[in-house]
Structure 1
Amino acid sequence: MTSILSTRSCMLSVIVPAYNEEEVLPIFHARLVAALANVPELAGNWEVIYVNDGSKDGTLRILKDLQQHDAAIGVANLSRNFGKEAAMSAGLKLARGEAVILIDADLQDPPELIGEMVRVWQQGADVVNMKRTSRQGETWFKKASAAWFYKVINWLSEVHIPENVGDFRLLSRRAVDALNQLPESNRFMKGL
């Protein structure tokens, strides 16, 4: 993994795993930065760490361009596609924020909810999970397979995984440090 990050400290780190996101990245980044700017509690004290997970398109080029224009942007480049879980783990190891948000670049989760997440964290929460209230734009097959996934995994597992809770979450520094201590190299973040 190559990493190009600034050294300033921050209140919030936002980790964005990216795999072949060239088309959506400019839109996502603009919405993310606008959402962060609208959180007065942060007062501009944040960083965004994009983790390029071996993209084959122009994702890395776009990320490097974003980084050149903003010192708050960090880019970690994985040597090949290791998968989203590995990309998120790499981002967690690099994050310096007192709180860390994980969000996908595909805009299925609205960055505009970050302010609400930060306020819940500031009230003492170590983990703030965001739950989808609808699955708009997904086929019936995707919706049905997601529903069955949660039913089967919860039936088989001792750990209950709430339905429609993806990876869009905020973790306190304490929670991030605990996750970074886990020895597993193949993680399933929704189950941790």
Structure 2
Amino acid sequence: MKKLVSIVIPAFNEEENLITIIDRIEKVFECLGYNFEIIIVDDGSSDNTINNLKNEIANKHHLYFIEFSRNFGHQAALMAGLNNANGDCVISMDADLQHPPEMLTQMLQKWEEGYEVVYTRRLPDPSLPFKKRKFSELFYKLLNSLSDVEIESGTADFRLLDKIVVKNLNQFKEMDPFVRGLVKLVGFKQFAIDYIPAERFKGSSKYSLAKMRRLALHGVTSLSIKPLYTAVYLGFFFSFLSLLYIPYILFAFYEGTEVSGWASLIMTVVFFGGLQLIILGFLGIYLGKMFMQAKNRPNYIIRSTNIK
């Protein structure tokens, strides 16, 4: 009996790209001995993404859709696909064709060799804006320094997961999950494939620098409580520095050179005030996550689907 491969594609305003990526995936599987299904998760698109998709479904028995009631975000769309996939393995990829469908053959080959997670690492793309490339580098450095799992630079959500990995991921009941971190957290036998991203087929990127900053902060606070320990270490460090100021004060009194240091006092107050706000901010984020988790709200709401 042929194995079933599920392809999960989150889509937000991708009306110009969906038909093309579906056609290219179909061409790849024409040469492979697998059954396959394509699950498109429409993340509250405001264009004709869902209408184009429904028209395409009429002629394709292997094509499925999940329509959200509003925009819940890329990670929620990804989890919705994992929750509803039935394949012996699940491959997630973006709809903009920067994740080349032709790589599916290599990923499936590694899966057949026994790897339960086959993930991809994006090689540096010189065509990207300088700011975006640098922020991407800083994103992974910050994430790895402040979290309990290491995520390699260039790792995104283009990966293959065996059904046993998907089963374990579906048991996580986290509010607003960070999927690429959870995949590293669950472990299993993993293999990385390097690739050069293709040019976006049509449309514009949905990930602005602001969204990337939010994703970085979300990733750090979702995977670890290290930022809280970092805050404690900073407190000890600056307390120690303040002790070093005591000999200077005693020497100034001895020499009679003490001066009312208004400027230095204000700078000290402002600096430590900012540090306290940063620490309180971390505490607030963690408390906020606990508050939202306690509500036990769903990560997404499905308006319609053809998955039975």
The CA RMSD measured in Å over matched residues stands at 1.4
Which structure is larger by alpha-carbon Rg, 1 or 2?
2
The Cα shift of 1:158 comes to: 1.2
Give the secondary structure class of the aligned counterpart of 1:106: coil
Find the aligned partners of 1:64 and 1:136 in 2 and give their Cα distance.
37
Find the aligned partners of 2:136 and 2:145 in 1 and give their Cα distance.
14
The answer to whether the aligner puts 1:185 opposite 2:175 as a matched pair is yes
Tell me which of the two structures has the higher relative contact order, counting C-alpha pairs closer than 8 angstroms and 6 or more residues apart: 1
The answer to whether the aligner puts 1:50 opposite 2:43 as a matched pair is no
Counterpart residue type for residue 65 of structure 1: N
Unmatched 5+ residue regions in structure 2? 183-308
Task: Summarize the alignment of residues 1-192 of structure 1 with structure 2, pairs less than 5 Å apart.
Answer: 11-38=4-31, 40-42=32-34, 45-135=35-125, 137-192=127-182
- Tell me the alpha carbon deviations over residues 17-66 of structure 1, each in whole angstroms, 9 at most, x when there is no partner: 0000011222222222212223x231xx0000000000000100111112
Q: Which has the higher strand share?
A: 1
1:15–1:50 Cα contact (<8 Å) kept: yes
**CA gap 1:61/1:137 in 2 versus in 1, 3 angstroms:** farther
Give the secondary structure class of the aligned counterpart of 2:115: coil
1:10–1:96 Cα contact (<8 Å) kept: no
Unmatched 5+ residue regions in structure 1? 1-8
TM-score, structure 1 normalization: 0.90
Counterpart residue type for residue 41 of structure 1: G
The Cα shift of 1:135 comes to: 2.2
For residue 3 of structure 1, what is the aligned residue in structure 2? none
TM-score, structure 2 normalization: 0.57
> What percentage of aligned pairs have identical amino acids?
39
Query: Where has structure 1 moved over 4 Å in runs of 4 or more?
Result: none
**CA gap 1:137/1:71 in 2 versus in 1, 3 angstroms:** farther
Find the aligned partners of 2:127 and 2:164 in 1 and give their Cα distance.
36
Q: Which has the higher helix share?
A: 2
The Cα shift of 1:75 comes to: 0.5
Find the aligned partners of 2:131 and 2:28 in 1 and give their Cα distance.
32
